[in-house]
Chain A
Amino acid sequence: MEGDSIVLYIIISILVSLLFALGVIWFLNHAQKKISQSRFRAQELKLNFQRLMLENTVRTKEQERDRISRELHDDVSSQLGIVNLNMHVLKQRMPDDHGLESIIDQIEMSIKKSSERSRAISHELMPISFKKFGIHLALEELVDSINVTGTMTLTVENDFLIELKDEFKLLHIYRVIQELLNNSVKYAKAKNISIDFLPIGTEIEMTYRDDGIGCDLSQNKEGLGLNNINTRATLLDGDVEFTSSINKGFLAVLKFPNYD
């Protein structure tokens, strides 16, 4: 009988200790899960905050560009137009003095050039067509402005696929194209550039390709503004991949969701 109770006590002790061990294991796994979940949430919050900061920075930059563009277009260009008109009146009222006339001609020429330049800068900063008619017509205008030079051919396959409504998101797409075109024109010496928009499920895949001299991406990332493109891709909730090597042209594939 005594042996019975001793064994019973020992068995109970073993069972209690096993229950304790299982409790510790359960607590460990549960606490680990909770901690990793809270760490994940904190990380997510941090990422969201960083994204918000980035978005605000880019948004502010775009608003500032828009403001400067409008100032240049509405104010500076108009002022230059008025000065030009006044110079014209002045020239008509001046006595016949060929020396003075040629100076006025030169001033008129400078004013004209300044006016054109300010319009061009204004357009680069924020294309009027984009603001007034949207991305599709802005792209068409971009094609015309490149092809009219005769040094390169730009084709855009864009069947009005983009359904995004957020003006800033559309502007990101436009800026990405602008940045890529800038690289092709400035550095790549490309002759042919193509931009294709392809719908894949709920996403749009934009493929940008040029036949220029290409580059070593591992060395040129900073200089080519690829970081800016990456930022814009992030703000589009998408991603972008670049492929290029020396003398093999340049390829960029941007994927983004086609909804706001």
Chain B
Amino acid sequence: MEAFFNGIANTTVVFSVVFAIFSILVYNKTNKVFHLFLVYIIMGGSFDLVSTFFFEKKMNNLKFFHLYTLLEFVILSVFIRNFLEVMKPKFDLQKAYLPAVVFIIINSLFIQGLDIYNSYSAALSSILILGYCIYTFYLLLDFQMSKIYISFKWIVIGVFINHIVTLIVMLSSNVVLNISSDYRIIIWIIKTIVGLFTKLLFFIIIVKSLNHPKKHSLNGR
């Protein structure tokens, strides 16, 4: 089981790094509106690489998870907000993500600390991101979508799938920690497979978005 998990985990890291390099290469060829998402992919690949390196050297890599949770939350929130702004939403996402950012920082520094897995922040981040996703779906229902928005919709779908599984894992993290590693690994395998699947989905979206007109703005649609 562990070998299988290592295989999947290594595949995910390799794919994540390759995808990050690909994102750097196509950064200027992609429409500006997706640049923030590419930064997210590049950041994901870099964190996966560095975390794996620390793990191999038997060094504590939890600090990276703290930083990753914060950056992931900020980037995804701003990315989704940029797209939703055009639809003139009644609720401004900024109202939700600024207090959340403060909580994530406080949790990392004072509540759970940097040497413990930041399950509170990760769970909160996932809950809020899921909320953004559902709000996005609601706004997209009655919105005439251009190619850019169709890509955006699929990105949000990927984020939604990834974070719904992350949330379940985070909410059950206290229980998971108390069971034997043989059982724990099954949970991580499922999470990793879902993560790999969503990365593949993002890859397809980015490749397809290369055909979009580069100068199309969100307002111009």
Contacts and interface: CB of A to CB of B under 8 A. Distances in A.
B194 A18 contact: yes
A194 interface: no
A31 B141 CA distance: 7
Interface string B123-161: 000000000001001001110110000000100010011
A17 B183 contact: no
Contacts of A4: 183
Given A10-B168, A17-B165, A35-B142, A24 B134 contact: yes
Contacts of A20: 164
A45 interface: no
A10 B161 contact: no
Interface string B1-36: 000000000000000000000000000000000000
Contacts of A2: 179
Q: List the 4 shortest-distance A-B pairs measured between CB atoms, nearest first.
A: A3-B179, A3-B183, A7-B183, A17-B164
B180 interface: yes
Interface centre among A6, A7, A11 (most CB of B within 10 A): A7
B183 A21 contact: no
Interface of A: 2-4, 6-7, 10-11, 13-14, 17-18, 20-21, 24-25, 28, 31-32, 35-36, 39
Contact of B175 (A10, A11, A21, A39): A10
A7 B141 contact: no
B186 A7 contact: yes
Interface of B: 134, 137, 140-142, 144-145, 153, 157, 160-161, 164-165, 167-169, 172, 175-176, 179-180, 182-183, 186-187, 190-191, 194
B164 A32 contact: no
Contact of B172 (A13, A28, A36): A13
Nearest to B176: A10
B181 to A, nearest CB: 10
B122 to A, nearest CB: 15
A28 B164 contact: no
7 contacts: A2-B179, A3-B179, A6-B172, A6-B183, A10-B176, A10-B187, A17-B165
Contacts of A3: 179-180, 182-183
